[in-house]
Amino acid sequence: MSFQDIADRFEIEALRGEYTDAGMTRDFDRFASLFTQAGVWRIPEAGVEFVSREEIRAGIERLQANWD
Q: Taking the model in full, what pTM does it have?
A: 0.85
Residues 4 and 11: beta-carbon distance below 8 Å: no
Q: Which CATH number fits the domain that encloses residue 23? A: 3.10.450.50
Burial class (CB in 10 A: 0-12, 13-18, 19+), 32: buried
For residue 59, name the pLDDT band (cuts at 50, 70, 90): very high
Summarised one tens digit per residue, pLDDT across range 16-35 is: 999 999 999 999 999 999 99
The residues, ordered by sequence, that sit 6+ positions from 12 with a Cβ below 8 Å of its Cβ are none
Domain span holding position 28: 3-67
Number of domains, the chain: 1
Nearest to 32, CA basis, from 4, 60, 7: 60
